[in-house]
Chains A and B, each alone.
Chain A
Amino acid sequence: MALPKYTETRYRIWHYFYIAICTFVFIFLIAPLFVIFPLSFNAEEFLVFSEGMKNLDPDAFSLRWYKDMVYGTKNPWGLAAKNSFIIAIFATLGSVILGTVAALGLSSRHMPFKGIIMATLISPMIVPLIISGVAIFFFMAKAGLAATHTGIVLAHIILGTPFVVITVTATLSGFDHSVTRAAASLGSNPVNTFMKVTLPLILPGVISGGLFAFVTSFDEVVVVLFLAGLENTTIPIQMWTGLREQLSPTILAVATCLIVLSTLILISAELLRRRSERLRGINR
């Protein structure tokens, strides 16, 4: 953003001030994530940069905490990771199926009571998590599903569907319905039309909704805190307990892995968004 030569001094000053603010905000946003990265390779037990690390002494760095994460005694992370992935995968599947089907109905122009139904379907995203946690806990306790994987999966389906509904309805809003009519006129039944025509076109939206649902489930801690027993511990629960009791560098090793995972998810989400825009013919 080069300024034209004739810019007055006060606007010049203002412009540099503006750039300075923006730089500060970007650092504020991204820097905290990068602090974790070097500290997780710390050879010592403290969560500060040691003198050795500041001098880039290779002895000050080690993979000690990563080893502890994987092989440590009484290690909770293995079970937590397994649980987290199982729960997140099933919750994502459930959210995607329920959410996509609902989005198909919602984007039909014949849908009655569209406003209120949409508001209801989105509500788990708007209602504070703590309240959702209390309500879902009451239901699961009554249904005998507290402290079970099923209970947590159902809870995460509740929290994940709004994201799928939103992304898929957004994708469908640019959807050309004449293609489904064309398929029908060529003798395809509705299910076949959906699988062969509609789904491939809205797939980017469905997958990106699924990614949201996956991340929501994978990162969810408030509701799980109410629901989980010892057997159902998840990565966020372990982190939560770890952060409350004592910040150990092992947590930072886990955190680093999570950042890598979120980077991968970000890249796929971004690629999907672009593909979706291309498919829907939105050019920028």
Chain B
Amino acid sequence: MSEYVLELKNIAKRFGGVEVLHGVSFGLRPGEVHALLGENGAGKSTLIKVITGIHQPDGGEIFLNDKQVHFDDPLQARLAGIAAIYQELSLCPDLNVAENIFLGRQPTTVGGSINWRKLYSEADRLLTSLGVHLDLKAKARSLSIAQMQSVEIARAFSLNARILIMDEPTSSLTLKEVAELFGLVRRLRDEGTAIIFISHRLEELFEVADRVTVLRDGSYVDTRLVKDVTRDDLVRLMVGRTISNLFPKQDVKPGEIALKVEHLSLAGIFEDINFELHKGEILGMAGLVGAGRTDVARAIFGVVPPTSGTIQIEGRQVEIKSPQQAISLGLAYVPEDRQLHGLIPAMNITSNISLPILKEYARRGWLQDKAERSAAFSAARQMEVRANSIWQLARTLSGGNQQKVVLAKWLSTKPRILILDEPTRGIDVGTKAAVHALMSNLAAEGIAILMISSELPEVLGMSDRILVMHEGQMTALFSRAEATQEKIISAATQTIKTVRAL
């Protein structure tokens, strides 16, 4: 008998030609909360999907109670006692608590209709044993997110789960709800349930986890007792190096005005946006999600042209009606949503990079393969895209490399004004630092950069000036020297009372 209820040995997983898990081992003891830690792209979610049977490993072995198992699909894993609760909850909003707990497995009478009495008594028994107090007949949509999680957990235990996986369960909970959830987690642990806990909030690990396993770039790094590590230890294990210079912003003397926006408005979305962007300057745009920053960028780029206001590029007033026109004026826009707006996943790296200026690689419409290939290659090399060849399909690349391809694509248009919308969202720290270094170098070359970012350290670290938006309005414009985290947050959450003529 080994000490583990679940043991993974040398799990490997490949997607296409890319190996995303390199022989990861992991042991889960009964009655422990085991945190799984790693950056985005470290392989946490892939590992979870292997455990829950969504993915099948390409190498390695899984042991459940010392017996080797192989899950062809999620159902087999569930029947074996492995339950997972994800960020996105999966309750049916118009069914009540008890119905949701037994969804698809309602106890039935001899005639085949639902045995309601048994349904409610079983649900009641289950919730009582979990120490959760809920109205069994309340519709799921009336519950708080924490209560919905309790229902999901009850559902998991109705299947006799002995292993519970919680993927970022606290990301949308209030502090009080988090405390309640942790109370439940501890109770389950004390009763012998093994829990795998994933969270990006390191503080929570110290509060609830017993051991922590760190993954990096798809490899196992280390497993430690939580009481023996410090926060800094964990960060170093995750990143694998000391990031000495995350925000390598160089001092660039701003040149002449590259982009000037006056009274820019899009009816119902944003209004009266004014700013100047100088050559060699990085202007940060801060604000909450939904403040209208992306809409301003899209208006400038001609995706959805503004309803009023003016745009001047290098002193010349222009009316930008389409992205194509924006590109020809020297603008480039790296959009926020890589999958939706940035990348053509089923086309190869070359075609992705050449797309915005494809006409430059063609003579009278006929593609000149050689010109296209060499341009794409040098752009991909400049961005250090990691791939087997420039003919690899974009969708087979990792998130960070996809972002590099999108950047390569826009840099190959040789823009004079570059709009970056959340340029480092969802990419690993290494690529992130590379993107920041790139931004700094581009600014030093005299390119004007407008950077939208929801990450305050990034905004503070990279920007020469910071524009803050709230609910479609510009609420502040700070210089690098005067900007602080507090000032930005306060400007991003409070509307400045604007006097409007009636």
Q: Do A and B bind each other?
A: no
Chain A interface (Cβ < 8 Å from any Cβ of B):
none
